[in-house]
Amino acid sequence: MVSRNKQGHTRIKHIELKDKPTSSIIDKLNRVLSEDKIYTKQEILDSFEKSEEPLRLSEAFLRGYLGGLPKGF
């Protein structure tokens, strides 16, 4: 991630794989769970844990994960 500090100096932060952003919880649950089934807590947790859905580039940008947006956008 690239950003600038208050003095205008460029800062670079290396993003690790463990820091990779993921889709929101609601989006993820909607994709993992079916509406016509009742789930136990453990089934929900297992389904959620196994799901590795990538975050779209546009969504990551708008959330500010990639930099380039002013604060408070």
3 strand-pairing partners? 11
- Convert the pLDDT of each residue in 9-19 to its tens digit: 998 888 777 76
The predicted model scores a pTM of 0.33
Q: What is the DSSP letter of 3?
A: E
Radius of gyration over every alpha carbon of the chain, rounded to an integer in angstroms: 17
Residue showing tokens 């670079």? 12
* Angle between helices 41-50 and 25-32 in degrees, nearest 10: 100
- Convert the pLDDT of each residue in 13-37 to its tens digit: 887 777 666 666 667 677 667 777 8
